[in-house]
Amino acid sequence: MEEKNKEVIRKFYQEFFNDHIVESADKYVREDYIQHNPGVDQGREALKRAFGEKFAEHPEFRLNIQMMIAEKDKIAVYLKNVDPQGNTKCRVVDIYRLEDGMLAEHWDVLQPCG
């Protein structure tokens, strides 16, 4: 289960966060997605709206996976937000609970750089 869940995360980050294909969330995120980040509303559609706006404002936005730790239905993902010159702008730890191969719940911790 852990390796399959890691593959879901890899694909989601590439398509959604790096290629900015907001509609790809339909493949990877449950409609009733539970969001513990107070800056983003509940549900898949709210996630798509929030990041659609972010990608429009910051077309260079990317998240590079540095490490993943998986146990049963949970995955912790350590990421770096890197600018086009390769400078780290922010470090992030996202934690997900997956259900039936889709992201069901999310927590995060951010560490700004600079």
pLDDT of res. 39: 87
pLDDT of res. 114: 62
Architecture of domain 2-112: Roll (3.10)
d(Cα 61, Cα 87) in Å, to the nearest integer? 12
Q: Which residue has the higher pLDDT, 111 or 29?
A: 29
Percentage above 90 pLDDT, the chain: 83
Q: What is the pLDDT of residues 40-69, one digit of tens each?
A: 999 999 999 999 999 999 999 999 999 999
Confidence of residue 74 (pLDDT cuts 50, 70, 90): very high
- Measured CA to CA in angstroms, residue 74 lies from 61, 81, 84 at distances of 25, 22, 31
